[in-house]
Amino acid sequence: MPGASIVAPGHSHVVPLEPEFIVPQDGAEKQDREKPRGPSPAFAGAGCWLAAHGEQYIHLKPIWLGDDLFAHQPPCEAARAAGGNFPFVREPSAHSLIQEYISGVALESHTERVKHGRIWVTPQDRWISGVPLRDGKDALIVNWLGIETVDATGKVNYRDSFVTD
């Protein structure tokens, strides 16, 4: 049962939205919406949610969030078709083409030492615009963002990357 919620910065309330129920079909081993579709099988149900309900939230200018299962062409296209933008977490091992684009390139970056309580940390943001999400002429062009936080001893406390439109 994929579902979605409305959240907003500065608000402590979460508004759950209607779910998209997945029901078994006669004689099928898996429910129709659990069957693999492209490189991210777990997206199938969420894609059906976006197709069924996404349009009614276009006026809110949604930002669709998701993990690496969404950082592939079909989910990214579905998020755009549902009238929103997306930052999806990106696992480097799942996106070798993007890794090729960012390897050996001087990326745009921003580094700033900041104090969190009594501890100094140095977050570094790196990014590149206009990289293809996959091979092929029909590849969606996305932006890549990498975030890393290093403590005063040089230890990396946090590292993640995202694709976004």
Output 26 or 97, whichever has higher pLDDT: 97
3-state helix, strand, coil in the chain (%, to 5): 25, 30, 45
Helix (H, G, I), strand (E, B) or coil at 11: coil
Give the whole-angstrom CA distance, residue 74 versus residue 50. Answer: 11
When mean pLDDT is compared across 1-5, 109-113, 155-159, the lowest value belongs to 1-5
pLDDT band at 124 (very low <50, low <70, confident <90, very high): very high
Q: pLDDT band at residue 1, thresholds of 50, 70 and 90?
A: low
* Helix segments in 57-117, DSSP class H: 73-81, 96-102
- Position 21 scores a pLDDT of 74
Which residue would you say has higher pLDDT here, 132 or 30? 132
DSSP-H helix ranges across the chain? 43-53, 73-81, 96-102
| Separation of alpha carbons 126 and 65, rounded Å | 20
CA distances from 115 to 110, 122, 126, 133, 163 (A): 16, 9, 20, 35, 28
Mean pLDDT (the chain, rounded): 83
Interatomic CA distance for residues 77 and 138, integer angstroms: 11
Give the pLDDT of residue 35: 41
Amino acid 24: pLDDT:
62
pLDDT, residue 123, reads 93
Give the Å distances, CA to CA, from 104 to 32, 40, 99: 43, 28, 10
| 70 band by pLDDT with thresholds 50, 70 and 90 | confident
Q: Give per-residue pLDDT as tens, 7-63.
A: 988 999 999 988 877 666 555 555 444 444 444 445 666 777 887 888 888 898 899
Q: Cα–Cα distance between 76 and 66 in angstroms, integer?
A: 10
Give mean pLDDT, residues 80-85.
Answer: 88
| 138 vs 23, higher pLDDT | 138
| Packed helices 73-81 and 43-53: angle between N→C axes, nearest 10 degrees | 10
